[in-house]
Amino acid sequence: MARVKARRTWRSRYAELPEVPYRAIVEASPILTAALDHDGKVRLVNRAMEHSIGLPRAALVGRYFDELLSPTGPDLEVHSPEAPIERGLVTSRGIERRVQWRVVAAEHLSWVFGVDVTEARAAERRLRVVEQLAVVGDLTTGLAHEIRNPLNSALLELKVLARRLARAESVADQVSVEAVRSELGRIERLLADFLWFARPGSSTTQPGQLSSPAEAVARLVSAEVAARSIKLTTEFDPSAAPVAFDEDSVRQVIFNLVRNAIEAVGDGGHIVLRVRAGLGTTELDVVDDGPGIQGDPARVFVPFHTTKPLGTGLGLTIAQRIAIDQGGEVRVHSSPGRTVFTFILPAFHEAGSDRAAP
């Protein structure tokens, strides 16, 4: 494993911080800060680094700094302050935070400074999604209206035909009419999804616990998962901060994610529905032990992308759109035998407060 290159010898933890004020500045700085010896081992960290990783400094000092980073990404070497390197920092919960690092060699050790850009990257992704959805939404609206008019006419004519056949008592013809009605109904529901996707309705947000709609969805699917011998485990962290959300909209996000997991695992699978505290967020995970997503997992959010014979390719796209409208996002990580969809919402802040509500 590549190590952070320090190229200096280590003498004393605070050898390069002789003045107490400088030590206090490093300790209080919001910039993730660590000092490394010539082997790339951590010799000190500040509070920001402790908080970001979720471990006390006693558990960090002595470890190779490279062990705290994501397994893939560029090596950290001594660069000028103008040339940051972006690589993930893995928290104690196994969550990857995107961080821009700068490594500066001093007389006796190397200093590593990091700026967490996770939220900035998330905002960039949300902006790209919103732009894509706006373009597709305009196209979808026009197509849906063009299709809906003849569809409504066909449904009306079908009702008239059904009444005539009912008087004629032709069972075979009635079955055929019902089959046509079912397919037209499916098209009508599909159009409804298209129109919602193009022009979602307004929503009203209220502060509450994300576990509330999660519990409602778990109850809603309980009969189906039991019938298919699927194990559904719920894990709700009571310390998770409240979030501001629209109950119906967020319930649809969770339902779409759980529905996707049910279809992925098949009979006898296992799904975990988890609500937990994040860094300034509350996060909901839907974990399944299905085969995993082939190709680029991020493509599941692309409008009309589907691998299902009868899928519309809008379920997860709608979930992502709602999440963005609510100020959050949905992320996905997938590997063979394990897929995790994470619905993230910012923690609710009381007006005039800079802290999340308890």
Q: Cα–Cα distances in Å, from 127 out to 4, 152, 200, 308?
A: 34, 36, 17, 28
Confidence of residue 243 (pLDDT cuts 50, 70, 90): very high
The model's pLDDT over 270-298, given as tens digits with 9 standing for 90+, comes to 999 999 998 788 999 999 999 998 888 87
Average pLDDT, stretch 85-105? Answer: 86
CA torsion 319-325-326-332 (nearest 10°) is: 40
pLDDT tens-digit map of 307-341? 665 555 677 888 888 898 888 899 999 889 999 99
Mean pLDDT of 30-55: 92
Q: CA of 165: how far to CAs of 112, 117, 157, 233, in Å?
A: 80, 66, 12, 49
pLDDT at 238: 92
- In three-state secondary structure terms, 273 is strand
Across 146-160, 188-202, 266-280, 300-314, the highest mean pLDDT is recorded for: 266-280
How would DSSP label each residue in 335-355?
ETTEEEEEEEEEBPB-TT-SS
What pLDDT band is residue 300 in, cutting at 50, 70 and 90?
Answer: confident
pLDDT of residue 228: 94
At 180-195, the pLDDT tens digits run 777 777 777 777 766 6
The reported pLDDT for the residue numbered 355 is 45
- Where b means 16+ CB within 10 Å and e means fewer, 80-92 reads eeeebbebbbbbe
Q: Which region among 40-54, 65-79, 142-156, 233-247 has the lowest average model confidence (pLDDT)?
A: 142-156
What confidence score (pLDDT) does residue 11 get? 39
Q: Write down the mean pLDDT value for the chain.
A: 81
CA–CA distance, 123 with 190 (Å, rounded to integer) = 30
